[in-house]
Structure 1
């Protein structure tokens, strides 16, 4: 029998939220141009606006026929995140004791749930050594993507694949492999001609918290404005905020209805950035035909206030309070190993949690990670017995 958590009425989550600790990067990893895992920052990109390269207006459809698209039909589980945490623990000599370990995508779905009434999700979860690990249920995700792609485009509209490509093309126009001073003028001025690929990624791993729950979250970061502020020679520099930039595209606002649509988009923009401690979203506004016309920079922490003073379609404090309450509920519900489902049906007023396997961890955890953690526990016991 499923345990249920009420999403509605959202009003019960209104009000001030408790003080939040800024997400702090504790580790990172990359996927290279072939989407091979690397325990380094080799895929970190730097932001430089295309406005200074005379690339606007730009046709975001250009290069679609040569797009090098990552095959996302393969279920990657939490593997790369767990490997990164395991290597960090080996270097630090201690376990990461938190309540939850998951991807940013899972937390985005949870954080936006109170106001995204059309959202649906299905996640797998397991409990191990006091931590709940959560991943996407890949089969449901692939089936949903297949249904979306099979829907015919509206007359005169571009395909779903093309519209998804626009975001990657925009990123290519905005990023460089190094800082401006270390990147050639030729590279910067020819970004509009570069082949677009979404295989290479830089992923930040942060420690953060909501109310009574601590989390480690991994997620892709699009770019950084300048060098990361960490300097081994300067005490405390690792705690400084990193000037990340999240890159998004949106249809240009031309009517009152467009304002409403943009506010709803801002919910996801804010949630994704807020979770990893990204301070800025740069939005590339485009026409219906995919012509990039202008850019706007948004301060992530000011987005909820902007919405409140606009149409008021969502409330950031309610999202944060809701997330804290749901995480508390998950800790009280997922109390043993096995595989659990966390599910929300489209338009449903509740989130369901139920167990589908009573033992083991499914494929959520890798055997390498489990063995490492068990070795750590054995070592801790030996230390206590000495």
Structure 2
């Protein structure tokens, strides 16, 4: 099998010398605005042949504690409890410990990916864990919802290394400052979501009251493998809680109480993101707390994730999940084609902006109503993506991960994360490829049963400070 930009063929560059950090006032370089390739948005009509999507299979979970230190255990796992009637979502606002928004690095997910592959060597039932693409769940949600996004654009950094795509959200210094300096009203609205999660969860299966402390450093995350079309995906994302005694995953959301048709239409539009966020990680239930403008809980409603597409079907301007999945499949295939072409052309000699054998860094930019544009970054932009020299990155990937990938490839031969045949079933939950549906009706892509849940894990584990 042909390899692309293997680190076994070309040594990684030496660690860089100290360099100047990019200033927020630095103008964008030409490479980020001159696209080398583009992909137009699809028509909003159901595809004649939607891509298969395999049921997400849990690989492992990990926790961040109150100091945001990573542990491969379930110490931050929470259990669902019913909130008190009329709960005040303003409660505890003055004690909120909010972790600042920062660049969406893949480091924790890459640690989990390596751990999952080691686990798969001991548990053959996990199948092939080698991925064709690795990203956080939020990144894939942005890609999939793009056909219906009319307001907010986004940008992703992309690398291809040893046949695996890596994607992270790109946030400029100005955008990070904007996210961390929210206007007071917007900050309060954000807190309402965290307060609802706190009212609805307990650190014990037997329940217990909430003392009013919200610390967004603490998180419990799940890592899954799945397959969209011909691309094996490994994704990670935060999970709010589980049902006590069942351990089925639950996503918690808040929304304004519905007072008329306009509110109903807004809520149904929000359901697309609710749906995909849960669908991608195999979360079967979404509990929505409806609130007043002043932040008091009025009603509580539970939704089955797989039923959401049916709720909006046939309504004016309704979204269709099959459109989203087909678009996501096209985006991943397009990225692989474009980046593989560049890697092949640079194997024989030094590329314009990289050392021999070191993958280029690309920027994929989404413009609402238009589609995706792809551009290869120049040296200055790559330095900005890499961040401070102390992080020791090659592109946005940490050096330790690329070095570990060298060792893994050397030990395991030519197993890659590249595309697999349409009939391949390895890694599926039930031993056969799942062409499942997004809502349980014929012609869609349904799972045969509720997504499996991760087994309980010990309270001890390796730790890294991220």
Query: Comparing both structures, which one devotes a greater share of its residues to helix?
Result: 1
Q: CA deviation at 1:330?
A: 1.3
The change in CA–CA distance for 1:380 and 1:321 in structure 2 (over 3 A counts) is: closer
Q: CA deviation at 1:93?
A: 4.1
Q: CA deviation at 1:213?
A: 1.3
Q: Check if 1:214 corresponds to 2:232.
A: yes
Deviations 1:110-133 (A, max 9, x none): 110111121311111111111000
TM-score (norm 2): 0.70
Report the Cα distance in structure 2 between the residues aligned to 1:227 and 1:88, rounded to whole angstroms.
Answer: 26
Q: Give the equivalent residue in structure 1 for 2:72.
A: 39
Could you tell me which of 88, 101, 112 is aligned with 1:59? 88
Q: Give the equivalent residue in structure 1 for 2:242.
A: 224
Ranges in structure 2 where 5+ consecutive residues have no aligned partner: 1-34, 123-127, 344-358, 387-392, 415-466
Q: CA deviation at 1:348?
A: 4.0
* 1:1-386 alignment, distance < 5 Å: 1-11=35-45, 13-15=46-48, 17-50=50-83, 55-73=84-102, 75=103, 77-93=105-121, 96-139=129-172, 143-144=174-175, 146-147=177-178, 159-180=185-206, 183=207, 188=208, 190-191=209-210, 193-227=211-245, 243-335=248-340, 336=343, 337-345=359-367, 347-357=368-378, 362-380=394-412
Report the Cα distance in structure 2 between the residues aligned to 1:116 and 1:248, rounded to whole angstroms.
Answer: 20
Deviations 1:305-333 (A, max 9, x none): 10114444211111111111211111111
Q: CA deviation at 1:364?
A: 2.3
The change in CA–CA distance for 1:15 and 1:252 in structure 2 (over 3 A counts) is: farther
Report the Cα distance in structure 1 between the residues aligned to 2:82 and 2:299, rounded to whole angstroms.
Answer: 11
Aligned residues: 347
Q: CA deviation at 1:289?
A: 1.1
Superposition RMSD in Å = 2.4
Q: CA deviation at 1:224?
A: 0.9
Q: CA deviation at 1:196?
A: 1.4
Q: CA deviation at 1:59?
A: 1.4
Report the Cα distance in structure 2 between the residues aligned to 1:136 and 1:151, rounded to whole angstroms.
Answer: 19
Report the Cα distance in structure 1 between the residues aligned to 2:219 and 2:238, rounded to whole angstroms.
Answer: 6
Report the Cα distance in structure 1 between the residues aligned to 2:375 and 2:242, rounded to whole angstroms.
Answer: 40
Conservation of the 8 A alpha-carbon contact between 1:77 and 1:363: no
Conservation of the 8 A alpha-carbon contact between 2:361 and 2:395: no
Ranges in structure 1 where 5+ consecutive residues have no aligned partner: 153-157, 229-241
SS at the partner of 1:113? helix
Q: Give the equivalent residue in structure 2 for 1:231.
A: none
TM-score (norm 1): 0.84
